[in-house]
Amino acid sequence: MTMHDDDTRDSGPDERLVHGLLASLAADHAAQQDRRVRAAIARIDRREGVLARLGRFGVARFAAAGALAATLTIAVVLSIGPATNSAYATLQSISNRLATGNRSYRQTIVLANRDGTESLREAMVDVGTGRRFVFAIDLDALPLGPRVPGEAGGRQGKGTGQPGMRGEPGPPPMAGGRGRRGPEHADRPSPDAPDPAAPPGPMPRGPDGPGFGDRHGAPPIAWGFDGTEYWQIDLAGVVTRSLDPLRMRDPMPLMGGPPSDQDSENDDEELLTLQPLLDRLESGFDLTVVTGTQARTAEGEPLVVIEATLRPEVAAAARPKMPQDEPKEREGPSIRKGRRGMRAPPLPTRVRLVADARTNELVSVVADWPEGSRFLRRIVVERVAPRAFDDTWFSPDRHGPVASLPTRDG
| Least distance CB 236 / other proteins (angstroms) | 9
Q: Is the dihedral of CA 207, 211, 215, 219 positive or negative?
A: negative
**Is residue 399 near other proteins by the rule CB under 8 A?**
no
**Is residue 233 near other proteins by the rule CB under 8 A?**
no
**Is residue 207 near other proteins by the rule CB under 8 A?**
no
Nearest to 310 by CA among 285, 293, 327, 292: 285
Mark 208-245 as b/e (b = at least 16 C-beta within 10 Å). eebbebeeebbbbbbbbbbeebbbbbbbbbbbbeeeeb
| Least distance CB 194 / other proteins (angstroms) | 15
Closer CB to other proteins, 22 or 388, in the complex: 22
**Is residue 215 near other proteins by the rule CB under 8 A?**
no
In the list 171, 204, 259, 276, the residue contacting other proteins (rule: CB under 8 A) is 204
Q: What angle do CA 220, 102, 279 make, to 5 degrees?
A: 80
| Least distance CB 318 / other proteins (angstroms) | 44
Q: Determine the length of the chain.
A: 410
| Least distance CB 46 / other proteins (angstroms) | 10
| Least distance CB 166 / other proteins (angstroms) | 47
**Is residue 313 near other proteins by the rule CB under 8 A?**
no
In the list 321, 328, 337, 408, the residue contacting other proteins (rule: CB under 8 A) is 408
**Is residue 291 near other proteins by the rule CB under 8 A?**
no
- Residue 364 CB-half CA count within 13 A: 29
**Is residue 15 near other proteins by the rule CB under 8 A?**
yes
Q: What angle do CA 95, 101, 102 make, to 5 degrees?
A: 75
The three-class DSSP label of residue 361 is: strand
Stretch that binds other proteins, among 27-35, 84-92, 99-107, 190-198 (CB under 8 A): 27-35
**Is residue 40 near other proteins by the rule CB under 8 A?**
yes
The answer to whether residues 240 and 231 touch, using CB atoms and an 8 Å cutoff, is yes
DSSP secondary-structure letter at 166?
B
Nearest to 299 by CA among 359, 249, 217: 359
The answer to whether residues 378 and 369 touch, using CB atoms and an 8 Å cutoff, is yes
Closer CB to other proteins, 18 or 298, in the complex: 18
Closer CB to other proteins, 204 or 251, in the complex: 204
Q: Kindly report the number of other CB atoms within 10 A of residue 388's CB atom.
A: 12
**Is residue 202 near other proteins by the rule CB under 8 A?**
yes
The answer to whether residues 164 and 298 touch, using CB atoms and an 8 Å cutoff, is yes
**Is residue 45 near other proteins by the rule CB under 8 A?**
yes
Q: What's the N-to-C CA distance of the chain in angstroms? A: 34
For residues 297 and 363, give the distance between their C-alpha atoms in angstroms, rounded to a whole number. 9
**Is residue 395 near other proteins by the rule CB under 8 A?**
no
**Is residue 66 near other proteins by the rule CB under 8 A?**
no
**Is residue 216 near other proteins by the rule CB under 8 A?**
no
| Least distance CB 213 / other proteins (angstroms) | 11
Closer CB to other proteins, 164 or 406, in the complex: 406
Closer CB to other proteins, 21 or 322, in the complex: 21
The answer to whether residues 84 and 257 touch, using CB atoms and an 8 Å cutoff, is no
Give the CA dihedral 32, 33, 35, 41, nearest 10 degrees: 170
**Is residue 31 near other proteins by the rule CB under 8 A?**
no
**Is residue 28 near other proteins by the rule CB under 8 A?**
yes
Query: Which run of H or of E encompasses 266?
Result: none
In the list 7, 115, 313, 331, the residue contacting other proteins (rule: CB under 8 A) is 7
Binding site for other proteins (CB under 8 A): 1-5, 7-9, 11-29, 33, 36-37, 39-41, 43-45, 47-48, 199-202, 204-205, 211-212, 403-410
